[in-house]
Structure 1
Amino acid sequence: MLKYDFIYNQLIQQIQTGTLLAGAKLPSIRNLSQQFSCSKSTVLTALKKLENQHLIYAIPKSGYFVVDHQLPHVPSANDFIDFATSSPTWHAFPYKDFQHCINKAIDTYQADLFRYGTPKGLPSLIVEAKKLLETYQIFTHEDNIFITSGVQQSLSLLSIMPFPNQRTTVLVEQPSYHLYMDYLKTYRLPVIGIKRTAQGIDLDELEQIFSTNTIKFFYTMPRFHNPLGCSYNKKEKDSILKLAVKYDVYIVEDDYLADFEQNSKRDSLFTEDLEERVIYLKSFSKIMFPGLRIGLAVLPPALISTFQQYKNTTDIDSSMISQAALELYLKSGMFNRYQLTVAEDYKQRANTLQHSLKKYLPMYKTATDNCMHSHIILPKQVNLKLLIQQLTQQHIFLDSIERNYLDGFYRERILKLNVSNMEEQKIDMGIKEIALALTNSNNYFS
């Protein structure tokens, strides 16, 4: 073993065992060279290795200090079967690649980090975002693209800002994205729900709502609906667009799973929109990680000025470091390579989920789209709350549907199933246990 490696190992052991805690000062270079009977350059080589791993940092004329003595958390193996967690599997993300982009972003955009940001987002990221959107068949001008702090910020701004149609009521599918439902309920905004199932929505009911209510916009997830997992067909999308134009209603399209589309012929609503009625939202929370807090909003020209005004008063800008790192991640080709890998991984999980549902629960209605989350419709007599509680005791975790609905809207007995954070081999086992619980026990029926 080389001498500097020996010194490195000795110091890292002291850091990891807590002998040197976070913030502690290391012995001086002179003392270390005397302690290990070596030259100062050998000590500096060992310290540089620790510094490159972000374990220590240097203060000129003061010495070296420990950044953090804790080891990265590595989750232990468990026997849980988790159908409730919707976040992506964190350890599948190539965080080392993204770390390179963060470090490079700090070096490249040093001056920008000390400014208050840009009104629409980092210009160089908008350039890369435009290229990325084109891979989803979203063709637009850079002036129409905004960088937001996740899709949540876009939804918040759109919900409170005035629209050219002078309407005030939001129409949402039921069930729908639980955090947006929470937002609408918390701020008591005017909202109406329309039932959506694996078979779609009632277009006659949609027209009736459009024609008799002051609908500002219709919030929808045409592709891989959350939490149902189903998608609209082309005829349904065409009909929705025609009704929106006829009744002067805007459409907010949340395309959060665009990266996982396997059908090259299935485009977004935005792609089919010729009348500038669709507001397109794109999230990176599923393909990368929620903590990035970066989203894309593509706006019709009529909404840009107002959206800009409201965005400026609520948030100066999204994290510049996150924006700069994402720009480099996209430009370097890292995102594209990772996207292909993770999309294939999720495709396998989705296939396993659909196969298991058909195998063990063929009698229940469910979505047929190949998506990493799905659902089953249970009979009216099923006590869904009790079923979830009992399965939790068996270490099978499921999430309630309650938050996906508006208050007072009729709730189907929907059992949500999400496999985005689950090992593929556990999916079949979990669906089998759910089927056994429904088949072999009367305790869930009331």
Structure 2
Amino acid sequence: MYKYLLIVNDIEQQLEQGTFKAGQKLPSIRDLSLRYACNKSTVIRAFTLLESRHLIYSIPQSGYYAVQQRGASHELLENKVFDFSSAAPDPELFPYLDFKHCVDKAFDMYKNELFMYGTPQGLPSLLRLLSKHLANYQVFTKPDHIHITSGVQQALAILALMPFPNKKRGILMEQPSYHLFVRLVESYQLPVHGIRRSPQGDIDLDELEHLFRTEDIKFFYTMPRFQNPLGCSYSEPTKKAIAKLAKRYDVYIVEDDYLADLEHDLKSDPIYTYDSSHVIYLKSYAKILFPGLRVGVAVLPPVLDDVFRTFKKVADIDSPMLSQAALEIYIQSGMFERRKHAIRDAYSKRLQQLHESLHAHKEDSYQVTPLGQSGVYTHIVLPPHLSMPLLLERLHKKQVWIQNLTLNYLPSFEPLPLMNLSITRVSEEHIDRGIRIIANEIKHMIKQGRRK
């Protein structure tokens, strides 16, 4: 067993046994690295996994703390925990019987293929289906240029490591950005640059052009639609300008369109639409189905196909055949389309409720971002002097979970005073109560600061 998994299992067991109580500080990274005779990075990896499962939480410059004991009842979680931190799909919205039917049918249809290795590129019949399916997102491509990966995360890892035709090595990413990709480039010690994306979602195109022209950048990683963690989207002129600059300076765009299925605006196209020669289009099926499916799609320019296929084979041979077969049946049967509309409508109602509650409880001390048509994120802009670690700590004690955005930034970038809010794991009827708690804590901390 990997050492980090041993640490995870030991801490999970201690949480279940009550050795660590809710809110209790865990041993330091240094202490655990000595106890388990491992590097500090191994302990950090274990803590990151435990934090992603909401078993512990971190407070910058303080340490890691226990959230709650395992085994808490669903009723306790439903009534007392307000989870605004997670972007994982709501399990209550998932049609288990429909997907179980697809898995059972996949066993029957592909019983021989499931017991053999597939191809690094993916299940051929799924690739042909996706070529038609992706056209619904204005992504027109042939099956030869579609690659199935074990989630978008694997596609990002391959792209970060593989050589590109432009012979460049550096990676440019928005700030803030997807926290696991930030960790990935840091772990591989890859040359990386950042460019600020404003709280309104804007990007300085002049600065982008300067970076493309002067820095050794092989690709720019961006989330044009419903950016994580800001929740905002690029305008059509901005997307066209980015595509034009990429082609002019021979820089590739890695477009992570992870929430494409939640888009209401039929006229909103990806950057890929404006230049497929320099754009790599990534799509996840985890957010509309469930993360355990581990199926991502990478649409590549032809010049990148062979090297991506080689790196994929070395890393993984092939992606899970059962997941691919089940997804094929799920799309082909029309179940996917029904599911997409159902979850999109449910999330839209929650997002609307979130903004209504934010405005209803709003103080002059912080700003609420404009309501987007869809997606799962929004954020509020807090006063710069407010201590974010202290605010998160106080909210945790009141069972309100908020994502710590420090991990979404490169070390060279100062995090903006933002509070990110996701609606996927908070029911519509509990959103208002959670926002009221947040507003009261902000108000309380500001008053305390004025007294001092």
TM superposition score normalised by structure 1: 0.81
For 2:74, the equivalent position in structure 1 comes to 75
The alignment status of 1:375 with 2:374, answered yes or no, reads no
Letter in 2 for 1:388: L
Deviations 1:51-105 (A, max 9, x none): xxxxxxxxxxxxxxxxxxxxxx983343211111221111210011111111111
Contact preservation (8 Å) 1:383, 1:444: no
Letter in 1 for 2:407: R
Contact preservation (8 Å) 1:382, 1:444: no
The alignment status of 1:417 with 2:421, answered yes or no, reads yes
For 2:208, the equivalent position in structure 1 comes to 206
Larger CA deviation: 410-419 vs 128-137:
128-137
**Count of paired positions:** 373
Deviations 1:182-206 (A, max 9, x none): 1111111110010002241111111
Give the superposition deviation at 1:443: 7.2
The alignment status of 1:341 with 2:345, answered yes or no, reads no
Task: Map 1:265-280 onto structure 2 (within 5 A).
Answer: 265-273=267-275, 276-280=277-281
Deviations 1:129-174 (A, max 9, x none): 1222111111111111111110011100000000010000000000
For 2:305, the equivalent position in structure 1 comes to 304
Letter in 1 for 2:321: M
Query: Matches of 1:74 and 1:340 in 2, distance apart?
Result: 30
- Bigger radius of gyration, 1 or 2? 1
For 1:433, the equivalent position in structure 2 comes to 437
Give the superposition deviation at 1:408: 2.3
For 1:230, the equivalent position in structure 2 comes to 232
Contact preservation (8 Å) 2:225, 2:259: yes
Structure 1, unaligned stretches of length 5 or more? 1-72
Give the superposition deviation at 1:393: 1.1
Give the superposition deviation at 1:355: 2.1
For 2:186, the equivalent position in structure 1 comes to 185
For 2:401, the equivalent position in structure 1 comes to 397
The alignment status of 1:125 with 2:129, answered yes or no, reads no
**Equivalent of residue 220 in structure 1, options 219, 222, 226:** 222
Contact preservation (8 Å) 1:401, 1:416: yes
Give the superposition deviation at 1:379: 1.4
SS in 2 for 1:266: coil
Larger CA deviation: 362-371 vs 152-161:
362-371
Larger CA deviation: 312-321 vs 360-369:
360-369
Query: Matches of 1:444 and 1:223 in 2, distance apart?
Result: 38
Query: Matches of 1:237 and 1:287 in 2, distance apart?
Result: 24
**Equivalent of residue 248 in structure 1, options 227, 250, 257:** 250
For 1:353, the equivalent position in structure 2 comes to 354
Query: Matches of 1:146 and 1:102 in 2, distance apart?
Result: 21
Query: Matches of 1:404 and 1:329 in 2, distance apart?
Result: 33
Query: Matches of 2:225 and 2:235 in 1, distance apart?
Result: 9
Query: Matches of 1:329 and 1:100 in 2, distance apart?
Result: 9
Contact preservation (8 Å) 1:386, 1:444: no
Distance 1:406 1:441, change over 3 A: closer
Give the superposition deviation at 1:405: 0.8
**Equivalent of residue 263 in structure 1, options 262, 265, 273:** 265
Contact preservation (8 Å) 2:386, 2:445: no
Contact preservation (8 Å) 2:174, 2:195: yes
For 1:139, the equivalent position in structure 2 comes to 140
Give the superposition deviation at 1:418: 0.7
Distance 1:239 1:365, change over 3 A: farther
Give the superposition deviation at 1:354: 2.0
SS in 2 for 1:207: helix
Letter in 1 for 2:378: S
Give the superposition deviation at 1:366: 4.3
SS in 2 for 1:263: coil
Contact preservation (8 Å) 2:285, 2:296: yes
Contact preservation (8 Å) 1:216, 1:250: yes
TM superposition score normalised by structure 2: 0.80
SS in 1 for 2:424: coil
Query: Matches of 2:147 and 2:407 in 1, distance apart?
Result: 29
Distance 1:316 1:361, change over 3 A: same
Distance 1:134 1:362, change over 3 A: farther
Query: RMSD of the alignment, in Å?
Result: 1.6
Distance 1:181 1:366, change over 3 A: farther
Letter in 2 for 1:402: T
Contact preservation (8 Å) 1:81, 1:422: yes
Query: Matches of 1:199 and 1:322 in 2, distance apart?
Result: 34
Structure 2, unaligned stretches of length 5 or more? 1-71
Distance 1:421 1:165, change over 3 A: same
Contact preservation (8 Å) 2:231, 2:378: yes
Query: Matches of 1:136 and 1:367 in 2, distance apart?
Result: 27
Query: Matches of 1:361 and 1:193 in 2, distance apart?
Result: 32
- Which 4+ runs in 1 deviate beyond 4 A? 443-446
SS in 1 for 2:74: coil
For 2:174, the equivalent position in structure 1 comes to 173
For 1:295, the equivalent position in structure 2 comes to 296
Deviations 1:187-226 (A, max 9, x none): 1111001000224111111111111101100000000000
Identity over aligned pairs, percent? 47
Contact preservation (8 Å) 2:351, 2:376: yes
Query: Matches of 1:272 and 1:361 in 2, distance apart?
Result: 40
Contact preservation (8 Å) 1:438, 1:444: no
Query: Matches of 1:81 and 1:317 in 2, distance apart?
Result: 38
